[in-house]
Protein backbone atom coordinates (compact mmCIF):
# COMPACT_ATOMS: atom_id res chain seq x y z
CA UNK A 1 0.00 0.00 0.00
CA UNK A 2 1.32 3.45 -0.92
CA UNK A 3 1.75 6.25 1.58
CA UNK A 4 -1.11 8.15 -0.08
CA UNK A 5 -3.42 5.28 0.74
CA UNK A 6 -2.22 5.37 4.34
CA UNK A 7 -3.09 9.06 4.51
CA UNK A 8 -6.56 8.32 3.15
CA UNK A 9 -6.98 5.63 5.79
CA UNK A 10 -5.87 8.10 8.44
CA UNK A 11 -8.29 10.82 7.29
CA UNK A 12 -11.16 8.36 7.17
CA UNK A 13 -10.41 7.18 10.69
CA UNK A 14 -10.17 10.74 12.02
CA UNK A 15 -13.51 11.62 10.43
CA UNK A 16 -15.20 8.62 12.03
CA UNK A 17 -13.63 9.50 15.39
CA UNK A 18 -14.96 13.05 15.08
CA UNK A 19 -18.41 11.77 14.19
CA UNK A 20 -18.63 9.42 17.19
CA UNK A 21 -21.09 10.82 19.75
CA UNK A 22 -21.03 8.07 22.37
CA UNK A 23 -18.42 5.89 24.05
CA UNK A 24 -19.89 2.82 22.34
CA UNK A 25 -19.56 4.43 18.91
CA UNK A 26 -15.97 5.41 19.66
CA UNK A 27 -15.14 1.85 20.78
CA UNK A 28 -16.47 0.60 17.46
CA UNK A 29 -14.09 2.97 15.64
CA UNK A 30 -11.25 1.78 17.89
CA UNK A 31 -11.94 -1.86 16.97
CA UNK A 32 -12.10 -0.99 13.26
CA UNK A 33 -8.70 0.68 13.14
CA UNK A 34 -6.64 -0.60 16.08
CA UNK A 35 -7.74 -4.17 16.81
CA UNK A 36 -5.70 -7.24 15.83
CA UNK A 37 -8.04 -7.80 12.89
CA UNK A 38 -7.90 -4.18 11.68
CA UNK A 39 -6.45 -3.05 8.38
CA UNK A 40 -3.52 -1.39 10.18
CA UNK A 41 -2.61 -4.68 11.87
CA UNK A 42 -2.75 -6.47 8.52
CA UNK A 43 -0.45 -3.86 6.98
CA UNK A 44 1.99 -4.23 9.87
CA UNK A 45 2.29 -7.97 9.23
CA UNK A 46 2.97 -7.27 5.53
CA UNK A 47 6.07 -5.12 6.13
CA UNK A 48 8.30 -8.18 5.99
CA UNK A 49 7.13 -8.94 2.41
CA UNK A 50 8.17 -5.52 1.07
CA UNK A 51 11.48 -4.85 -0.69
CA UNK A 52 14.16 -3.88 1.83
CA UNK A 53 14.42 -0.32 0.51
CA UNK A 54 10.68 0.30 1.13
CA UNK A 55 10.32 -1.27 4.57
CA UNK A 56 11.71 1.62 6.61
CA UNK A 57 9.71 4.43 5.03
CA UNK A 58 6.51 2.39 4.97
CA UNK A 59 6.98 1.31 8.60
CA UNK A 60 7.51 4.90 9.70
CA UNK A 61 4.41 6.07 7.83
CA UNK A 62 2.38 3.23 9.32
CA UNK A 63 3.54 4.10 12.84
CA UNK A 64 2.65 7.78 12.35
CA UNK A 65 -0.86 6.83 11.23
CA UNK A 66 -1.34 4.48 14.20
CA UNK A 67 -0.11 7.14 16.66
CA UNK A 68 -2.37 9.80 15.16
CA UNK A 69 -5.45 7.56 15.31
CA UNK A 70 -4.64 6.43 18.88
CA UNK A 71 -4.14 10.01 20.10
CA UNK A 72 -7.36 11.16 18.45
CA UNK A 73 -9.33 8.31 20.04
CA UNK A 74 -7.92 9.05 23.53
CA UNK A 75 -8.71 12.74 23.20
CA UNK A 76 -12.23 12.00 21.99
CA UNK A 77 -12.73 9.46 24.79
CA UNK A 78 -11.95 12.11 27.41
CA UNK A 79 -14.38 14.55 25.80
CA UNK A 80 -17.14 11.95 25.70
CA UNK A 81 -16.45 10.89 29.29
CA UNK A 82 -16.84 14.47 30.52
CA UNK A 83 -19.92 14.98 28.37
CA UNK A 84 -21.59 11.81 29.65
CA UNK A 85 -20.74 12.77 33.25
CA UNK A 86 -22.33 16.19 32.81
CA UNK A 87 -25.45 14.61 31.34
CA UNK A 88 -25.65 12.14 34.22
CA UNK A 89 -25.24 14.87 36.82
CA UNK A 90 -27.91 16.93 35.09
CA UNK A 91 -30.34 14.01 35.34
CA UNK A 92 -29.46 13.40 39.02
CA UNK A 93 -29.64 17.02 40.15
CA UNK A 94 -30.99 17.43 43.69
CA UNK A 95 -32.98 20.49 44.59
CA UNK A 96 -31.09 21.67 47.67
CA UNK A 97 -33.73 24.31 48.33
CA UNK A 98 -36.17 21.61 49.44
CA UNK A 99 -36.57 21.30 53.23
CA UNK A 100 -34.53 18.49 54.77
CA UNK A 101 -35.55 15.84 57.25
CA UNK A 102 -35.27 16.77 60.90
CA UNK A 103 -33.98 14.24 63.41
CA UNK A 104 -34.86 14.05 67.08
CA UNK A 105 -31.37 14.20 68.55
CA UNK A 106 -30.42 14.08 72.19
CA UNK A 107 -27.41 15.81 73.69
CA UNK A 108 -24.06 14.87 75.09
CA UNK A 109 -24.27 13.23 78.49
CA UNK A 110 -23.57 15.91 81.14
CA UNK A 111 -21.30 13.42 82.90
CA UNK A 112 -18.81 13.59 80.02
CA UNK A 113 -19.22 17.36 79.67
CA UNK A 114 -18.29 17.82 83.33
CA UNK A 115 -15.50 15.24 83.18
CA UNK A 116 -13.83 16.96 80.21
CA UNK A 117 -14.23 20.39 81.81
CA UNK A 118 -12.67 19.20 85.07
CA UNK A 119 -9.73 17.68 83.23
CA UNK A 120 -9.16 20.89 81.27
CA UNK A 121 -9.17 22.95 84.48
CA UNK A 122 -6.45 20.80 86.02
CA UNK A 123 -4.44 20.66 82.80
CA UNK A 124 -4.46 24.45 82.93
CA UNK A 125 -2.82 24.23 86.37
CA UNK A 126 0.01 22.10 85.01
CA UNK A 127 -1.28 18.65 85.94
CA UNK A 128 -0.77 15.63 83.70
CA UNK A 129 -3.37 12.89 83.13
CA UNK A 130 -2.41 9.40 84.35
CA UNK A 131 -4.30 6.15 83.83
CA UNK A 132 -4.30 2.67 85.30
CA UNK A 133 -6.15 -0.67 85.28
CA UNK A 134 -9.66 -1.02 86.68
CA UNK A 135 -8.88 -4.59 87.82
CA UNK A 136 -6.35 -4.00 90.55
CA UNK A 137 -4.35 -5.95 93.08
CA UNK A 138 -4.64 -5.69 96.85
CA UNK A 139 -1.12 -4.22 96.89
CA UNK A 140 -1.92 -1.11 94.88
CA UNK A 141 -5.53 -0.66 95.95
CA UNK A 142 -4.89 -1.00 99.69
CA UNK A 143 -1.41 -1.79 101.03
CA UNK A 144 0.63 0.91 99.27
CA UNK A 145 -2.02 3.45 100.31
CA UNK A 146 -1.62 2.71 104.02
CA UNK A 147 -4.95 0.91 104.29
CA UNK A 148 -4.37 -1.80 106.92
CA UNK A 149 -5.72 -5.33 106.77
CA UNK A 150 -8.43 -4.63 109.33
CA UNK A 151 -9.75 -1.50 107.61
CA UNK A 152 -13.51 -1.60 106.80
CA UNK A 153 -12.81 -0.75 103.13
CA UNK A 154 -11.37 -4.24 102.71
CA UNK A 155 -14.60 -5.85 103.88
CA UNK A 156 -16.20 -8.21 101.37
CA UNK A 157 -19.40 -6.19 101.76
CA UNK A 158 -17.70 -3.08 100.33
CA UNK A 159 -15.36 -4.43 97.65
CA UNK A 160 -15.85 -6.53 94.49
CA UNK A 161 -13.19 -9.22 94.94
CA UNK A 162 -12.27 -11.42 91.96
CA UNK A 163 -10.00 -13.60 94.05
CA UNK A 164 -7.94 -13.16 97.21
CA UNK A 165 -5.48 -10.84 95.47
CA UNK A 166 -7.47 -9.20 92.66
CA UNK A 167 -10.45 -6.85 92.81
CA UNK A 168 -12.26 -4.04 91.02
CA UNK A 169 -10.59 -0.88 92.20
CA UNK A 170 -12.57 0.99 94.86
CA UNK A 171 -10.98 4.35 94.02
CA UNK A 172 -8.52 5.75 91.45
CA UNK A 173 -5.81 6.10 94.11
CA UNK A 174 -3.99 2.96 92.85
CA UNK A 175 -2.95 5.08 89.86
CA UNK A 176 -1.20 7.39 92.31
CA UNK A 177 0.73 4.46 93.80
CA UNK A 178 1.68 3.17 90.35
CA UNK A 179 2.81 6.63 89.27
CA UNK A 180 4.94 7.15 92.37
CA UNK A 181 6.52 3.75 91.80
CA UNK A 182 7.31 4.63 88.17
CA UNK A 183 8.67 8.11 89.02
CA UNK A 184 11.24 6.56 91.40
CA UNK A 185 11.37 9.51 93.78
CA UNK A 186 10.91 12.31 91.21
CA UNK A 187 8.31 15.10 91.62
CA UNK A 188 4.72 14.23 90.65
CA UNK A 189 1.80 16.37 89.48
CA UNK A 190 -1.03 14.22 88.11
CA UNK A 191 -4.78 13.71 87.97
CA UNK A 192 -6.31 10.26 87.60
CA UNK A 193 -9.80 10.23 86.05
CA UNK A 194 -11.60 6.89 85.87
CA UNK A 195 -14.32 4.47 86.93
CA UNK A 196 -14.42 2.91 90.38
CA UNK A 197 -16.55 0.13 91.88
CA UNK A 198 -18.02 -0.57 95.29
CA UNK A 199 -20.66 -2.99 96.51
CA UNK A 200 -23.54 -0.60 97.05
CA UNK A 201 -27.27 -0.65 96.42
CA UNK A 202 -28.24 1.61 93.51
CA UNK A 203 -30.56 4.46 94.40
CA UNK A 204 -30.87 8.19 93.73
CA UNK A 205 -27.59 9.00 95.54
CA UNK A 206 -25.61 5.74 95.37
CA UNK A 207 -24.26 3.53 92.59
CA UNK A 208 -22.11 0.40 92.44
CA UNK A 209 -20.14 2.16 89.68
CA UNK A 210 -19.08 5.79 89.81
CA UNK A 211 -16.24 7.97 88.56
CA UNK A 212 -13.55 9.99 90.28
CA UNK A 213 -10.81 12.40 89.43
CA UNK A 214 -8.01 12.10 91.94
CA UNK A 215 -5.09 14.47 92.12
CA UNK A 216 -1.58 14.01 93.47
CA UNK A 217 1.25 16.49 93.89
CA UNK A 218 4.61 15.50 95.40
CA UNK A 219 7.62 17.76 95.61
CA UNK A 220 9.83 19.46 98.15
CA UNK A 221 8.20 21.99 100.52
CA UNK A 222 4.58 21.18 99.56
CA UNK A 223 2.12 22.18 102.30
CA UNK A 224 -1.63 22.27 102.93
CA UNK A 225 -1.77 25.85 101.65
CA UNK A 226 -0.97 24.51 98.17
CA UNK A 227 -3.84 22.05 98.49
CA UNK A 228 -6.29 24.76 99.51
CA UNK A 229 -5.17 27.13 96.73
CA UNK A 230 -5.50 24.37 94.12
CA UNK A 231 -9.00 23.37 95.20
CA UNK A 232 -10.11 26.97 95.59
CA UNK A 233 -9.10 27.72 92.01
CA UNK A 234 -10.85 24.56 90.82
CA UNK A 235 -14.08 25.52 92.64
CA UNK A 236 -14.13 29.01 91.16
CA UNK A 237 -13.43 27.72 87.65
CA UNK A 238 -16.08 25.01 87.92
CA UNK A 239 -18.84 26.73 89.92
CA UNK A 240 -18.16 30.48 89.54
CA UNK A 241 -15.91 33.17 90.98
CA UNK A 242 -18.25 33.90 93.91
CA UNK A 243 -18.03 30.40 95.35
CA UNK A 244 -15.83 29.82 98.37
CA UNK A 245 -14.51 26.63 99.97
CA UNK A 246 -13.80 25.56 103.53
CA UNK A 247 -11.71 22.70 104.88
CA UNK A 248 -12.96 20.51 107.72
CA UNK A 249 -10.80 18.04 109.63
CA UNK A 250 -11.46 14.41 108.68
CA UNK A 251 -9.72 11.03 108.44
CA UNK A 252 -8.42 9.02 105.49
CA UNK A 253 -5.74 6.34 105.97
CA UNK A 254 -3.61 7.63 103.08
CA UNK A 255 -3.49 11.32 104.13
CA UNK A 256 -2.41 13.06 107.35
CA UNK A 257 -3.85 15.56 108.09
CA UNK A 258 -7.05 14.76 106.17
CA UNK A 259 -9.81 17.20 105.24
CA UNK A 260 -13.32 17.28 103.83
CA UNK A 261 -13.81 20.18 101.42
CA UNK A 262 -17.12 22.06 101.27
CA UNK A 263 -18.29 24.72 98.83
CA UNK A 264 -20.72 27.55 99.51
CA UNK A 265 -24.31 26.58 98.68
CA UNK A 266 -25.44 27.82 95.28
CA UNK A 267 -29.03 28.09 96.48
CA UNK A 268 -28.44 30.47 99.40
CA UNK A 269 -24.96 31.83 98.72
CA UNK A 270 -23.68 30.58 102.07
CA UNK A 271 -26.48 32.04 104.23
CA UNK A 272 -28.08 28.69 105.06
CA UNK A 273 -31.13 26.95 103.57
CA UNK A 274 -32.88 23.58 103.39
CA UNK A 275 -30.58 22.39 100.58
CA UNK A 276 -27.44 22.84 102.68
CA UNK A 277 -29.25 21.98 105.94
CA UNK A 278 -28.67 25.48 107.26
CA UNK A 279 -24.86 25.28 107.11
CA UNK A 280 -24.35 27.41 104.01
CA UNK A 281 -21.96 24.79 102.62
CA UNK A 282 -22.18 21.53 100.64
CA UNK A 283 -19.50 18.82 100.70
CA UNK A 284 -17.80 18.20 97.33
CA UNK A 285 -14.57 16.25 97.94
CA UNK A 286 -11.96 14.90 100.31
CA UNK A 287 -8.21 15.28 100.45
CA UNK A 288 -5.20 15.98 102.62
CA UNK A 289 -1.44 15.78 102.88
CA UNK A 290 0.03 12.50 101.65
CA UNK A 291 0.71 10.25 104.64
CA UNK A 292 4.45 9.76 105.37
CA UNK A 293 3.91 5.99 105.28
CA UNK A 294 2.52 6.25 101.72
CA UNK A 295 5.52 8.32 100.64
CA UNK A 296 7.94 5.86 102.23
CA UNK A 297 6.27 2.74 100.77
CA UNK A 298 6.33 4.26 97.28
CA UNK A 299 9.98 5.29 97.22
CA UNK A 300 9.97 8.84 98.65
CA UNK A 301 11.83 10.14 101.68
CA UNK A 302 9.16 11.88 103.84
CA UNK A 303 11.92 13.98 105.43
CA UNK A 304 12.69 15.51 102.04
CA UNK A 305 9.40 15.26 100.09
CA UNK A 306 5.81 16.07 100.93
CA UNK A 307 2.64 16.20 98.92
CA UNK A 308 -1.12 16.52 98.81
CA UNK A 309 -3.86 14.38 97.31
CA UNK A 310 -7.57 14.82 96.69
CA UNK A 311 -10.47 12.88 95.20
CA UNK A 312 -13.51 14.38 93.47
CA UNK A 313 -16.63 12.48 92.40
CA UNK A 314 -17.46 13.47 88.81
CA UNK A 315 -21.17 12.67 89.21
CA UNK A 316 -21.17 14.67 92.45
CA UNK A 317 -19.88 17.76 90.63
CA UNK A 318 -22.40 17.30 87.80
CA UNK A 319 -25.26 16.98 90.30
CA UNK A 320 -24.23 20.19 92.06
CA UNK A 321 -23.61 22.04 88.79
CA UNK A 322 -26.92 21.19 87.13
CA UNK A 323 -29.23 20.36 90.03
CA UNK A 324 -29.71 16.73 88.92
CA UNK A 325 -31.67 14.78 91.52
CA UNK A 326 -30.82 11.17 90.64
CA UNK A 327 -27.36 9.73 89.90
CA UNK A 328 -28.91 6.92 87.84
CA UNK A 329 -29.91 9.37 85.12
CA UNK A 330 -26.28 9.57 84.00
CA UNK A 331 -26.36 5.91 82.95
CA UNK A 332 -29.87 5.41 81.52
CA UNK A 333 -29.35 7.19 78.15
CA UNK A 334 -32.85 8.63 78.36
CA UNK A 335 -33.20 11.05 75.40
CA UNK A 336 -35.64 13.19 77.40
CA UNK A 337 -32.90 13.76 79.98
CA UNK A 338 -30.08 14.25 77.45
CA UNK A 339 -32.05 16.75 75.33
CA UNK A 340 -31.88 19.21 78.20
CA UNK A 341 -28.12 19.41 77.70
CA UNK A 342 -28.07 19.65 73.89
CA UNK A 343 -26.59 23.16 73.89
CA UNK A 344 -23.53 21.87 75.77
CA UNK A 345 -22.76 19.13 73.20
Tens digit of each residue's pLDDT (9 = 90 or more) over 74-97: 888 888 888 888 888 888 877 778
pLDDT at 1 over 60: no
Contact 6, 61 (CB under 8 A): yes
What is the DSSP track for 147-192?
Answer: --TT-GGGSTTTS-BSSSSEEE-SSSHHHHHHHHHHHTT--EEEEE
CA distance 195 to 152: 21
pLDDT band at 155 (very low <50, low <70, confident <90, very high): confident
CA distance 191 to 4: 88
Tens digit of each residue's pLDDT (9 = 90 or more) over 114-138: 999 999 999 999 999 999 999 999 9
Range of weakest confidence among 15-29, 91-105, 172-186: 91-105
The mean pLDDT value of the chain amounts to: 86
**In terms of pLDDT, which residue wins out, 243 or 42?**
243
pLDDT band at 305 (very low <50, low <70, confident <90, very high): very high
pLDDT, residue 294, reads 95
pLDDT, residue 106, reads 65
38-42, 262-266, 269-273: which has the highest mean pLDDT?
262-266
Tens digit of each residue's pLDDT (9 = 90 or more) over 205-238: 788 899 999 999 999 999 999 999 999 999 999 9
pLDDT at 4 over 80: no
Where are the domains positioned within the chain? Answer: 3-91, 110-344
pLDDT, residue 105, reads 67
Residue of 235, 216, 229, 246 lying closest to 307 (CA atoms): 216
Residue of 21, 27, 10, 8 lying closest to 73 (CA atoms): 27
pLDDT at 252 over 70: yes
pLDDT at 2 over 60: no
Count of Cβ atoms closer than 10 Å to residue 124 Cβ: 11
pLDDT at 58 over 60: yes
pLDDT, residue 345, reads 53
Tens digit of each residue's pLDDT (9 = 90 or more) over 60-76: 777 787 888 888 888 88
pLDDT band at 157 (very low <50, low <70, confident <90, very high): low
CATH architecture of 110-344: 2-Layer Sandwich (3.30)
pLDDT, residue 139, reads 93
Amino acid sequence: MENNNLLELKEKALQEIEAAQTSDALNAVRNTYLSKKSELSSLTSMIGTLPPEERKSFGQALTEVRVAITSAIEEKANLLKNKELEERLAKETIDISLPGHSYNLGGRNPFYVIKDEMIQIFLGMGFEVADGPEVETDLYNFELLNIPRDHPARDMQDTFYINENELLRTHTSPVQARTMEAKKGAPVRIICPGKTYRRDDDDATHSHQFAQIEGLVIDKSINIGHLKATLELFAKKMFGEKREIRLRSSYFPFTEPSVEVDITCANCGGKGCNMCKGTGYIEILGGGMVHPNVLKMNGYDPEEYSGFAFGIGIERVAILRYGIDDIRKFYQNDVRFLKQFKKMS
